[in-house]
């Protein structure tokens, strides 16, 4: 088996029960492109704590985080998708992926969010899709069931963190003060969303926080735009920037998905230049 093969988790199964869960998954044709995906899907079909914890213990927890890190290191952008129906979410996500942005956060701000997430996860395989605006552990569970590969919250809530971790999914909680950041640090988190970035002090605040929390990485979101994207990305502790400027409501309403692809390409171009100019 090659690393990344969907059958790879079989190597780590501890007993027949776990092997059966994974095999059921494979035979149901829900292909998991990497071990963490398989762990997550296996957890969803019946053995949540046990299987995912065994996989966590084997270091597979890191796999999804590594995959997202790798994508974000190449293209440090997370696009937010808020849609009232699955078709719109899929068209928007395809446009983003065509424009070069493959880490997509489906916002849990509409009743259709779980359906949107499920549809994007199935129909836009070139993207890694997570859930955003996740406010509670119950919402995190629903997002994971719908196929979320990562969870983003506007704030830091331990129930949400635990739920994501129990499924082996990276969790990026929002913080904007040193106290919140210290809590995140002591929960063992390494990457947080800095939210709302522009009103929480923007670039000077982020530089001050990252000079103290030297191992933390940040995803500034909230008020990021083409005008300040390069400056945020030039901060070494910034892993990526997120924001809704890539998916304006008017373009979605008008079905202008070409326009969304164009915004994505512009942002990819800005980020390519900015990461080449990282401050040392």
Closer residue to ligand 3PG in complex, CB, 47/108: 108
> In 3-state terms, what secondary structure has residue 213?
coil
Structure tokens at 257: 């998905």
Residues comprising the chain, all counted: 280
Residue 81 pairs with which residues in a beta bridge? Answer: 106
List all residues 6 or more positions away from 175 whose beta carbon is below 8 Å from its beta carbon. 155, 156, 181, 183, 184, 192, 193, 194, 195
What whole-number distance in Å separates Cα of residue 51 and Cα of residue 39? 7
Q: Give Rg (Cα) of the chain.
A: 18
Q: Interior CA angle at 118 toward 245 and 120, to 5°?
A: 45
Residues 127/103, Cβ–Cβ less than 8 Å: yes
Using the minimum distance from each CB to ligand 3PG, give the nearer residue, 63 or 247.
Answer: 247
Smallest distance, ligand 3PG to C-beta of residue 197, A: 8
Site for ligand 3PG in 159-218 (CB under 6 A): 195
Q: How far is the CB of 216 from ligand 3PG (least distance, A)?
A: 18
CB atoms within 10 A of CB 84: 13
105 noted as active-site residue: yes
> Of 209-268, which residues contact ligand 3PG (CB under 6 A)?
221-224, 242-245
By beta-carbon proximity to ligand 3PG, the closer residue of 224 and 274 is 224
Question: What is the size of the binding site for ligand 3PG (CB under 6 A)?
Answer: 12
Residue 18 exposed, middle or buried by CB count within 10 Å (0-12, 13-18, 19+): buried
Choice between 35 and 170, CB closer to ligand 3PG: 170
Say how many C-beta atoms besides its own lie within 10 A of residue 58's C-beta: 16
Catalytic position from the list 67, 105, 141, 149: 105
* Minimum distance from residue 13 beta carbon to ligand 3PG (Å): 37
Nearer to ligand 3PG, 61 or 172 (CB): 172
Q: Nearest approach, Cβ of 229 to ligand 3PG (angstroms)? A: 11
The pattern of x and - marking residues 75 through 114 that bind ligand 3PG according to CB under 6 A reads -----x----------------------------------
User: Which of residues 35 and 243 has its CB atom nearest to ligand 3PG in the complex?
Assistant: 243
Nearest distance, CB of residue 82 and ligand 3PG, angstroms: 8
Beta-sheet strands, E only, within the chain:
77-81, 103-107, 128-132, 151-152, 171-172, 174-175, 191-194, 217-220, 241-243
- Which residue has the CB atom at the shortest distance from ligand 3PG? 243
From residue 110 to residue 139, the character string flagging contacts with ligand 3PG as x (rule: CB under 6 A) and all else as - is: ----------------------xx------
Residue 193 is a catalytic residue: yes
d(CA 234, CA 236): 6
Interface residues for ligand 3PG in 32-61 (CB under 6 A)? none
Given the rule CB under 6 A, which residues bind ligand 3PG?
80, 132-133, 195, 221-224, 242-245
Catalytic sites, residue numbers:
105, 193
């Amino acid at each position: 088996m090659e690393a990344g093969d969907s059958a790879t988790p079989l190597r780590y199964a501890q007993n027949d029960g776990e092997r059966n869960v994974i095999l059921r998954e494979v035979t149901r044709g829900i292909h998991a492109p990497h071990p963490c995906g398989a762990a997550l899907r296996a957890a969803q079909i019946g053995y949540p704590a046990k299987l995912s914890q065994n996989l966590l213990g084997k270091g597979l927890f890191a796999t999804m985080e590594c995959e997202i890190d790798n994508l974000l290191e190449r293209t440090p952008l997370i696009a937010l998708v808020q849609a009232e129906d699955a078709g719109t979410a899929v068209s928007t996500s395809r446009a983003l992926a065509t424009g070069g942005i493959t880490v997509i956060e489906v916002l849990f701000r509409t009743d259709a969010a779980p359906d949107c997430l499920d549809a994007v996860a199935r129909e836009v395989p070139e993207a890694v899709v997570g859930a955003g605006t996740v406010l509670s552990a119950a919402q995190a569970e629903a997002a994971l069931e719908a196929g979320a590969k990562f969870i983003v919250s506007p704030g830091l809530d331990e129930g949400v963190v635990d739920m994501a971790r129990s499924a082996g999914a990276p969790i990026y909680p929002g913080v904007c003060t040193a106290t919140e950041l210290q809590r995140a640090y002591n929960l063992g988190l390494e990457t947080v969303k800095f939210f709302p970035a522009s009103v929480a002090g923007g670039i000077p605040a982020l530089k001050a926080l990252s000079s103290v929390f030297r191992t933390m990485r940040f995803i500034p979101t909230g008020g990021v735009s083409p005008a300040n994207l390069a400056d945020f990305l030039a901060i070494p502790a910034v892993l990526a920037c997120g924001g809704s400027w890539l998916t304006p409501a008017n373009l979605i309403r008008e079905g202008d998905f070409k326009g969304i692809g164009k915004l994505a390409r512009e942002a990819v171009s800005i980020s390519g230049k900015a990461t080449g100019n990282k401050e040392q």
